Structure 1
Protein backbone atom coordinates (compact mmCIF):
# COMPACT_ATOMS: atom_id res chain seq x y z
CA UNK A 1 0.00 0.00 0.00
CA UNK A 2 1.23 3.48 -0.80
CA UNK A 3 1.56 6.23 1.74
CA UNK A 4 -0.88 9.10 1.99
CA UNK A 5 1.55 11.77 3.05
CA UNK A 6 0.69 15.04 1.34
CA UNK A 7 -1.88 17.78 1.79
CA UNK A 8 -3.05 17.60 -1.83
CA UNK A 9 -6.67 16.50 -2.17
CA UNK A 10 -6.84 15.24 -5.74
CA UNK A 11 -10.14 13.44 -6.13
CA UNK A 12 -10.24 10.10 -7.88
CA UNK A 13 -13.94 9.97 -8.80
CA UNK A 14 -13.80 6.25 -9.57
CA UNK A 15 -12.21 5.19 -6.30
CA UNK A 16 -15.59 4.74 -4.55
CA UNK A 17 -16.81 2.61 -7.46
CA UNK A 18 -13.74 0.40 -7.25
CA UNK A 19 -14.14 0.02 -3.49
CA UNK A 20 -17.85 -0.87 -3.79
CA UNK A 21 -17.32 -3.42 -6.54
CA UNK A 22 -14.37 -4.99 -4.74
CA UNK A 23 -16.47 -5.26 -1.59
CA UNK A 24 -19.36 -6.72 -3.58
CA UNK A 25 -17.15 -9.54 -4.82
CA UNK A 26 -15.95 -10.29 -1.29
CA UNK A 27 -19.16 -9.82 0.71
CA UNK A 28 -22.03 -11.09 -1.42
CA UNK A 29 -20.75 -14.70 -1.69
CA UNK A 30 -20.35 -14.72 2.11
CA UNK A 31 -23.93 -13.52 2.53
CA UNK A 32 -25.33 -16.03 0.04
CA UNK A 33 -23.91 -18.98 1.96
CA UNK A 34 -24.67 -17.68 5.47
CA UNK A 35 -27.44 -19.52 7.36
CA UNK A 36 -30.65 -17.62 8.02
CA UNK A 37 -29.90 -17.45 11.75
CA UNK A 38 -26.70 -15.48 11.09
CA UNK A 39 -28.75 -12.48 9.96
CA UNK A 40 -30.14 -12.12 13.47
CA UNK A 41 -26.71 -11.65 15.05
CA UNK A 42 -26.05 -8.34 16.76
CA UNK A 43 -23.48 -5.99 15.25
CA UNK A 44 -21.27 -3.14 16.48
CA UNK A 45 -24.08 -0.75 15.46
CA UNK A 46 -26.27 -0.28 18.57
CA UNK A 47 -29.66 -1.93 18.16
CA UNK A 48 -28.96 -3.29 14.70
CA UNK A 49 -28.64 -6.90 13.62
CA UNK A 50 -26.77 -8.06 10.54
CA UNK A 51 -30.06 -7.95 8.66
CA UNK A 52 -30.65 -4.34 9.72
CA UNK A 53 -27.16 -3.26 8.67
CA UNK A 54 -27.57 -4.86 5.25
CA UNK A 55 -31.01 -3.32 4.78
CA UNK A 56 -29.58 0.11 5.58
CA UNK A 57 -26.63 -0.38 3.23
CA UNK A 58 -28.83 -1.58 0.38
CA UNK A 59 -31.32 1.25 0.80
CA UNK A 60 -28.62 3.93 0.89
CA UNK A 61 -26.97 2.71 -2.29
CA UNK A 62 -30.19 2.28 -4.23
CA UNK A 63 -31.23 5.80 -3.23
CA UNK A 64 -28.02 7.01 -4.90
CA UNK A 65 -28.62 4.87 -7.99
CA UNK A 66 -32.19 6.18 -8.35
CA UNK A 67 -31.37 9.77 -7.43
CA UNK A 68 -33.66 9.79 -4.37
CA UNK A 69 -31.49 12.06 -2.24
CA UNK A 70 -33.92 14.40 -0.56
CA UNK A 71 -32.78 16.51 2.40
CA UNK A 72 -31.99 14.46 5.48
CA UNK A 73 -31.85 11.22 3.55
CA UNK A 74 -28.90 9.75 5.48
CA UNK A 75 -29.80 11.03 8.93
CA UNK A 76 -30.64 8.48 11.67
CA UNK A 77 -34.41 8.84 11.33
CA UNK A 78 -34.29 8.23 7.58
CA UNK A 79 -31.94 5.28 8.04
CA UNK A 80 -34.30 3.74 10.59
CA UNK A 81 -37.23 4.24 8.22
CA UNK A 82 -35.38 2.47 5.41
CA UNK A 83 -34.65 -0.48 7.69
CA UNK A 84 -38.26 -0.63 8.88
CA UNK A 85 -39.51 -0.56 5.29
CA UNK A 86 -37.57 -3.76 4.64
CA UNK A 87 -38.57 -5.54 7.85
CA UNK A 88 -40.80 -8.03 6.02
CA UNK A 89 -38.51 -8.65 3.06
CA UNK A 90 -36.92 -12.08 2.63
CA UNK A 91 -33.20 -11.98 3.31
CA UNK A 92 -32.48 -12.94 -0.29
CA UNK A 93 -34.29 -9.81 -1.50
CA UNK A 94 -32.19 -7.59 0.75
CA UNK A 95 -29.00 -9.22 -0.53
CA UNK A 96 -30.19 -8.80 -4.11
CA UNK A 97 -30.81 -5.11 -3.52
CA UNK A 98 -27.42 -4.73 -1.84
CA UNK A 99 -25.68 -6.43 -4.76
CA UNK A 100 -27.43 -4.07 -7.17
CA UNK A 101 -26.38 -1.06 -5.12
CA UNK A 102 -22.77 -2.15 -4.84
CA UNK A 103 -22.71 -2.65 -8.61
CA UNK A 104 -24.54 0.46 -9.79
CA UNK A 105 -23.92 3.22 -7.25
CA UNK A 106 -20.28 3.83 -8.18
CA UNK A 107 -20.90 5.55 -11.53
CA UNK A 108 -23.55 7.78 -9.94
CA UNK A 109 -21.08 8.76 -7.20
CA UNK A 110 -18.33 9.38 -9.77
CA UNK A 111 -20.59 11.72 -11.72
CA UNK A 112 -21.19 13.88 -8.66
CA UNK A 113 -19.12 16.55 -6.95
CA UNK A 114 -17.50 14.26 -4.39
CA UNK A 115 -20.08 14.77 -1.66
CA UNK A 116 -21.10 11.11 -1.77
CA UNK A 117 -17.59 9.65 -2.05
CA UNK A 118 -17.44 8.74 1.62
CA UNK A 119 -20.70 6.80 1.39
CA UNK A 120 -18.57 4.07 -0.16
CA UNK A 121 -16.35 4.13 2.93
CA UNK A 122 -19.40 3.77 5.17
CA UNK A 123 -20.64 0.81 3.14
CA UNK A 124 -17.24 -0.86 3.45
CA UNK A 125 -17.15 -0.26 7.21
CA UNK A 126 -20.63 -1.75 7.54
CA UNK A 127 -19.44 -4.78 5.60
CA UNK A 128 -16.76 -5.05 8.26
CA UNK A 129 -19.49 -4.91 10.91
CA UNK A 130 -21.14 -7.90 9.24
CA UNK A 131 -17.91 -9.86 8.99
CA UNK A 132 -17.16 -9.04 12.60
CA UNK A 133 -20.58 -10.33 13.70
CA UNK A 134 -20.00 -13.50 11.67
CA UNK A 135 -16.64 -14.00 13.39
CA UNK A 136 -14.70 -13.64 10.15
CA UNK A 137 -10.99 -12.78 10.52
CA UNK A 138 -9.79 -9.36 9.42
CA UNK A 139 -13.26 -7.84 9.53
CA UNK A 140 -12.08 -4.32 8.71
CA UNK A 141 -9.22 -5.35 6.46
CA UNK A 142 -8.76 -7.45 3.37
CA UNK A 143 -7.82 -6.57 -0.20
CA UNK A 144 -9.97 -3.43 -0.23
CA UNK A 145 -8.32 -1.83 2.81
CA UNK A 146 -5.90 0.10 0.60
CA UNK A 147 -8.89 1.54 -1.28
CA UNK A 148 -10.68 2.53 1.92
CA UNK A 149 -7.80 4.42 3.52
CA UNK A 150 -7.76 7.34 1.04
CA UNK A 151 -11.50 7.75 1.61
CA UNK A 152 -10.88 7.71 5.37
CA UNK A 153 -8.51 10.60 4.80
CA UNK A 154 -11.22 12.49 2.95
CA UNK A 155 -13.83 11.73 5.60
CA UNK A 156 -11.51 12.76 8.43
CA UNK A 157 -11.08 16.18 6.84
CA UNK A 158 -14.73 16.72 6.03
CA UNK A 159 -15.71 15.88 9.61
CA UNK A 160 -13.15 18.37 10.97
CA UNK A 161 -11.13 15.89 12.98
CA UNK A 162 -7.75 17.21 14.16
CA UNK A 163 -4.58 16.56 12.19
CA UNK A 164 -3.14 13.13 12.91
CA UNK A 165 -0.02 11.49 11.55
CA UNK A 166 -0.33 7.72 11.58
CA UNK A 167 2.59 5.33 11.42
CA UNK A 168 0.75 2.29 10.10
CA UNK A 169 2.17 -1.22 9.88
CA UNK A 170 2.90 -2.10 6.26
CA UNK A 171 3.01 1.47 4.97
CA UNK A 172 6.17 3.00 3.56
CA UNK A 173 5.28 6.43 4.93
CA UNK A 174 2.86 8.18 7.24
CA UNK A 175 -0.85 8.58 6.71
CA UNK A 176 -1.87 12.19 7.26
CA UNK A 177 -5.48 12.48 8.39
CA UNK A 178 -7.74 15.29 9.54
CA UNK A 179 -7.12 19.00 9.29
CA UNK A 180 -4.60 21.34 10.84
CA UNK A 181 -5.76 23.13 13.99
CA UNK A 182 -3.94 26.46 14.51
CA UNK A 183 -1.65 26.32 17.50
CA UNK A 184 -2.14 22.59 18.01
CA UNK A 185 0.54 20.03 17.09
CA UNK A 186 -0.52 17.04 15.04
CA UNK A 187 -1.57 13.98 16.99
CA UNK A 188 0.29 10.71 16.49
CA UNK A 189 -0.91 7.15 16.01
CA UNK A 190 1.14 3.95 15.90
CA UNK A 191 -0.62 0.69 15.10
CA UNK A 192 -2.18 -1.28 12.28
CA UNK A 193 -4.57 0.00 9.64
CA UNK A 194 -7.57 -2.05 10.77
CA UNK A 195 -7.28 -0.54 14.25
CA UNK A 196 -7.10 2.92 12.70
CA UNK A 197 -10.36 2.19 10.87
CA UNK A 198 -11.97 1.04 14.12
CA UNK A 199 -10.74 4.15 15.92
CA UNK A 200 -12.17 6.61 13.39
CA UNK A 201 -15.45 4.74 12.89
CA UNK A 202 -16.16 4.17 16.58
CA UNK A 203 -15.99 0.39 16.37
CA UNK A 204 -14.93 -1.72 19.37
CA UNK A 205 -11.22 -1.57 20.15
CA UNK A 206 -11.15 -4.65 22.37
CA UNK A 207 -8.03 -6.78 21.82
CA UNK A 208 -6.32 -4.10 19.71
CA UNK A 209 -2.92 -2.57 20.40
CA UNK A 210 -2.05 0.99 19.42
CA UNK A 211 -0.53 4.21 20.73
CA UNK A 212 -2.39 7.52 20.39
CA UNK A 213 -0.95 10.81 21.59
CA UNK A 214 -2.11 14.38 21.14
CA UNK A 215 -5.80 13.57 20.62
CA UNK A 216 -8.59 11.68 22.31
CA UNK A 217 -10.57 8.86 20.75
CA UNK A 218 -13.86 10.84 20.63
CA UNK A 219 -12.16 13.67 18.71
CA UNK A 220 -11.36 11.32 15.84
CA UNK A 221 -14.84 9.94 15.25
CA UNK A 222 -16.18 10.52 11.75
CA UNK A 223 -19.66 9.19 12.67
CA UNK A 224 -21.28 11.15 15.50
Structure 2
Protein backbone atom coordinates (compact mmCIF):
# COMPACT_ATOMS: atom_id res chain seq x y z
CA UNK A 1 0.00 0.00 0.00
CA UNK A 2 1.44 3.37 -0.98
CA UNK A 3 1.81 5.91 1.76
CA UNK A 4 1.47 9.64 1.25
CA UNK A 5 4.55 11.67 2.12
CA UNK A 6 4.39 13.69 5.30
CA UNK A 7 3.16 17.26 4.95
CA UNK A 8 5.21 19.10 7.61
CA UNK A 9 2.90 22.11 7.52
CA UNK A 10 -0.26 20.10 8.17
CA UNK A 11 -0.07 20.05 12.01
CA UNK A 12 0.36 23.81 12.08
CA UNK A 13 -2.62 24.34 9.79
CA UNK A 14 -4.76 22.17 12.03
CA UNK A 15 -3.66 24.08 15.14
CA UNK A 16 -4.41 27.47 13.57
CA UNK A 17 -7.79 26.27 12.35
CA UNK A 18 -8.67 25.07 15.82
CA UNK A 19 -7.33 28.24 17.44
CA UNK A 20 -9.65 30.36 15.33
CA UNK A 21 -12.64 28.13 16.04
CA UNK A 22 -12.08 27.36 19.72
CA UNK A 23 -10.61 30.47 21.33
CA UNK A 24 -13.66 32.73 20.78
CA UNK A 25 -15.82 30.00 22.33
CA UNK A 26 -13.53 29.76 25.35
CA UNK A 27 -13.14 33.51 25.80
CA UNK A 28 -16.91 34.05 25.87
CA UNK A 29 -17.82 31.12 28.15
CA UNK A 30 -18.83 31.68 31.79
CA UNK A 31 -16.32 30.54 34.38
CA UNK A 32 -18.53 27.78 35.77
CA UNK A 33 -18.34 25.81 32.51
CA UNK A 34 -14.63 25.27 32.99
CA UNK A 35 -15.32 23.17 36.10
CA UNK A 36 -17.33 20.57 34.15
CA UNK A 37 -15.89 17.07 33.82
CA UNK A 38 -14.65 15.80 30.47
CA UNK A 39 -14.13 12.44 28.77
CA UNK A 40 -10.55 12.52 30.13
CA UNK A 41 -10.73 10.67 33.49
CA UNK A 42 -10.26 13.01 36.42
CA UNK A 43 -9.90 16.18 34.35
CA UNK A 44 -12.20 19.17 34.14
CA UNK A 45 -12.41 21.40 31.08
CA UNK A 46 -9.97 23.83 32.70
CA UNK A 47 -7.48 21.04 33.36
CA UNK A 48 -7.73 19.74 29.81
CA UNK A 49 -7.00 23.23 28.50
CA UNK A 50 -4.09 23.64 30.93
CA UNK A 51 -2.65 20.36 29.64
CA UNK A 52 -3.09 21.48 26.04
CA UNK A 53 -1.36 24.80 26.57
CA UNK A 54 1.47 23.21 28.54
CA UNK A 55 2.11 20.56 25.88
CA UNK A 56 2.22 23.10 23.08
CA UNK A 57 4.50 25.45 24.97
CA UNK A 58 6.92 22.62 25.72
CA UNK A 59 7.20 22.21 21.96
CA UNK A 60 7.57 25.95 21.35
CA UNK A 61 10.27 26.28 24.02
CA UNK A 62 12.06 23.03 23.17
CA UNK A 63 11.47 21.44 26.57
CA UNK A 64 11.11 17.91 25.26
CA UNK A 65 13.04 15.78 27.70
CA UNK A 66 12.41 12.04 27.80
CA UNK A 67 8.98 11.12 29.12
CA UNK A 68 7.65 14.62 28.66
CA UNK A 69 4.20 13.55 27.43
CA UNK A 70 3.70 10.57 29.72
CA UNK A 71 0.63 10.72 32.03
CA UNK A 72 2.72 11.60 35.09
CA UNK A 73 4.35 14.55 33.32
CA UNK A 74 1.01 15.74 31.95
CA UNK A 75 -0.48 15.64 35.44
CA UNK A 76 2.46 17.62 36.81
CA UNK A 77 2.00 20.31 34.16
CA UNK A 78 -1.67 20.62 35.04
CA UNK A 79 -0.87 20.82 38.76
CA UNK A 80 1.68 23.57 38.09
CA UNK A 81 -1.13 25.67 36.57
CA UNK A 82 -3.74 25.01 39.25
CA UNK A 83 -3.35 28.49 40.76
CA UNK A 84 -3.20 30.38 37.48
CA UNK A 85 -6.07 32.73 36.63
CA UNK A 86 -8.23 31.27 33.86
CA UNK A 87 -7.21 34.07 31.52
CA UNK A 88 -3.56 33.06 31.84
CA UNK A 89 -4.41 29.45 31.00
CA UNK A 90 -6.25 30.61 27.88
CA UNK A 91 -3.46 33.01 26.90
CA UNK A 92 -0.90 30.20 27.06
CA UNK A 93 -3.14 27.92 25.01
CA UNK A 94 -3.67 30.55 22.32
CA UNK A 95 0.06 31.22 22.11
CA UNK A 96 0.71 27.50 21.80
CA UNK A 97 -1.83 27.13 19.02
CA UNK A 98 -0.15 30.02 17.20
CA UNK A 99 3.52 29.15 17.62
CA UNK A 100 3.83 25.36 17.84
CA UNK A 101 3.12 24.50 14.21
CA UNK A 102 6.39 25.78 12.68
CA UNK A 103 8.38 23.99 15.39
CA UNK A 104 6.52 20.72 14.78
CA UNK A 105 7.27 21.09 11.07
CA UNK A 106 11.03 21.09 11.71
CA UNK A 107 10.90 17.64 13.34
CA UNK A 108 11.40 15.52 10.25
CA UNK A 109 10.52 12.28 12.04
CA UNK A 110 6.94 13.52 12.43
CA UNK A 111 6.69 12.27 16.01
CA UNK A 112 5.18 15.54 17.23
CA UNK A 113 2.45 15.51 14.58
CA UNK A 114 0.33 13.37 16.90
CA UNK A 115 0.43 16.15 19.50
CA UNK A 116 -1.35 18.48 17.08
CA UNK A 117 -3.96 15.80 16.46
CA UNK A 118 -4.35 15.35 20.23
CA UNK A 119 -4.96 19.07 20.69
CA UNK A 120 -7.78 18.91 18.16
CA UNK A 121 -9.27 15.87 19.91
CA UNK A 122 -9.09 17.68 23.26
CA UNK A 123 -10.95 20.62 21.72
CA UNK A 124 -13.62 18.05 20.91
CA UNK A 125 -13.55 16.93 24.53
CA UNK A 126 -14.37 20.49 25.58
CA UNK A 127 -17.23 20.81 23.10
CA UNK A 128 -18.52 17.41 24.16
CA UNK A 129 -18.48 18.39 27.86
CA UNK A 130 -20.35 21.60 27.07
CA UNK A 131 -22.84 20.00 24.68
CA UNK A 132 -21.60 22.32 21.95
CA UNK A 133 -22.15 21.21 18.32
CA UNK A 134 -19.11 20.13 16.33
CA UNK A 135 -17.31 17.87 18.81
CA UNK A 136 -14.70 15.79 16.95
CA UNK A 137 -15.83 17.31 13.65
CA UNK A 138 -15.96 20.71 12.00
CA UNK A 139 -13.50 22.59 9.84
CA UNK A 140 -10.46 20.79 11.25
CA UNK A 141 -11.77 17.31 10.49
CA UNK A 142 -10.06 16.90 7.11
CA UNK A 143 -6.50 17.65 8.31
CA UNK A 144 -7.19 15.72 11.52
CA UNK A 145 -8.15 12.62 9.53
CA UNK A 146 -5.00 12.95 7.45
CA UNK A 147 -2.89 13.07 10.61
CA UNK A 148 -4.86 10.16 12.03
CA UNK A 149 -4.06 8.04 9.00
CA UNK A 150 -0.34 8.52 9.74
CA UNK A 151 -0.72 8.06 13.51
CA UNK A 152 -2.68 4.84 13.05
CA UNK A 153 0.26 3.35 11.18
CA UNK A 154 2.82 4.60 13.69
CA UNK A 155 0.83 3.04 16.54
CA UNK A 156 0.53 -0.33 14.73
CA UNK A 157 -3.24 -0.45 14.52
CA UNK A 158 -4.62 -3.09 12.13
CA UNK A 159 -5.43 -2.21 8.55
CA UNK A 160 -8.95 -0.83 8.34
CA UNK A 161 -11.06 0.59 5.55
CA UNK A 162 -13.56 3.14 6.83
CA UNK A 163 -16.65 4.33 5.00
CA UNK A 164 -17.63 7.73 6.39
CA UNK A 165 -21.01 9.39 6.62
CA UNK A 166 -20.59 11.33 3.38
CA UNK A 167 -19.71 8.16 1.47
CA UNK A 168 -15.97 8.86 1.32
CA UNK A 169 -13.44 6.21 2.34
CA UNK A 170 -10.33 6.31 4.49
CA UNK A 171 -7.61 3.71 4.96
CA UNK A 172 -6.08 3.49 8.42
CA UNK A 173 -3.43 1.31 10.05
CA UNK A 174 -1.14 -1.29 8.52
CA UNK A 175 -1.66 -4.75 7.13
CA UNK A 176 -1.28 -7.66 9.54
CA UNK A 177 0.07 -10.86 7.92
CA UNK A 178 -2.67 -13.45 7.53
CA UNK A 179 -5.41 -11.01 8.53
CA UNK A 180 -7.94 -9.40 6.21
CA UNK A 181 -8.53 -5.64 6.47
CA UNK A 182 -11.13 -4.63 9.02
CA UNK A 183 -14.19 -2.66 7.91
CA UNK A 184 -15.82 0.31 9.62
CA UNK A 185 -18.93 2.28 8.73
CA UNK A 186 -19.24 5.40 10.87
CA UNK A 187 -19.46 9.16 10.81
CA UNK A 188 -16.32 11.20 11.46
CA UNK A 189 -16.98 12.00 15.16
CA UNK A 190 -17.54 8.32 15.91
CA UNK A 191 -14.37 7.32 14.07
CA UNK A 192 -12.41 9.87 16.09
CA UNK A 193 -13.95 8.56 19.30
CA UNK A 194 -12.92 5.01 18.39
CA UNK A 195 -9.30 5.90 17.61
CA UNK A 196 -8.86 8.30 20.52
CA UNK A 197 -10.46 6.03 23.12
CA UNK A 198 -13.37 8.36 23.86
CA UNK A 199 -16.76 7.13 25.16
CA UNK A 200 -18.99 5.62 22.48
CA UNK A 201 -22.31 5.97 24.30
CA UNK A 202 -24.99 7.17 21.90
CA UNK A 203 -22.98 6.47 18.75
CA UNK A 204 -23.86 4.14 15.88
CA UNK A 205 -21.29 2.25 13.82
CA UNK A 206 -20.51 -1.08 12.18
CA UNK A 207 -17.08 -2.62 12.86
CA UNK A 208 -16.03 -5.97 11.45
CA UNK A 209 -12.63 -7.65 11.64
CA UNK A 210 -11.19 -5.72 14.59
CA UNK A 211 -11.92 -4.96 18.24
CA UNK A 212 -12.39 -1.41 19.46
CA UNK A 213 -9.40 -1.59 21.82
CA UNK A 214 -7.06 -2.41 18.90
CA UNK A 215 -7.79 0.93 17.22
CA UNK A 216 -6.88 3.30 20.07
CA UNK A 217 -3.76 5.37 19.27
CA UNK A 218 -3.47 7.14 22.66
CA UNK A 219 -2.47 4.58 25.31
TM-score (norm 2): 0.98
Output aligned runs, 1:82-97, within 5 Å.
82-97=77-92
C-alpha distance in structure 2 between counterparts of 1:35 and 1:124, whole Å = 22
C-alpha distance in structure 1 between counterparts of 2:9 and 2:111, whole Å = 13
Q: 1:39 aligns to what? A: 34
In the alignment, structure 1 residue 182 sits paired with structure 2 residue 177: yes
In the alignment, structure 1 residue 123 sits paired with structure 2 residue 119: yes
Secondary structure in structure 2 of the residue aligned to 1:189: strand
Match of 2:69 among 71, 74, 79: 74
C-alpha distance in structure 2 between counterparts of 1:37 and 1:193, whole Å = 30
In the alignment, structure 1 residue 196 sits paired with structure 2 residue 205: no
Shift of 1:223: 1.1
Q: 1:55 aligns to what? A: 50
In the alignment, structure 1 residue 139 sits paired with structure 2 residue 135: yes
Secondary structure in structure 1 of the residue aligned to 2:194: helix
Q: 2:23 aligns to what? A: 28
C-alpha distance in structure 2 between counterparts of 1:184 and 1:65, whole Å = 41
Secondary structure in structure 2 of the residue aligned to 1:92: helix
Distance of aligned partners of 1:118 and 1:171 in 2 relative to their CA distance in 1, 3 Å threshold: farther
Shift of 1:61: 0.2
Shift of 1:10: 0.6
Shift of 1:171: 4.4
C-alpha distance in structure 2 between counterparts of 1:66 and 1:197, whole Å = 29
> Structure 2, unaligned stretches of length 5 or more?
none
Distance of aligned partners of 1:171 and 1:16 in 2 relative to their CA distance in 1, 3 Å threshold: farther
Q: Supply the RMSD in Å over aligned alpha carbons.
A: 0.9
Match of 1:12 among 2, 7, 13: 7
Which stretch of the first structure deviates more once superposed, 96-105 or 129-138? 129-138
Shift of 1:191: 1.4
| CA shift digits 1:28-79 (9 cap, x unpaired) | 0000011111110000000000011000000000000000000000000000
Q: 2:59 aligns to what? A: 64
> Structure 1, unaligned stretches of length 5 or more?
1-5
C-alpha distance in structure 1 between counterparts of 2:107 and 2:41, whole Å = 31
Point out which structure has higher relative CO (alpha carbons under 8 A, 6+ apart): 1
Shift of 1:7: 2.9
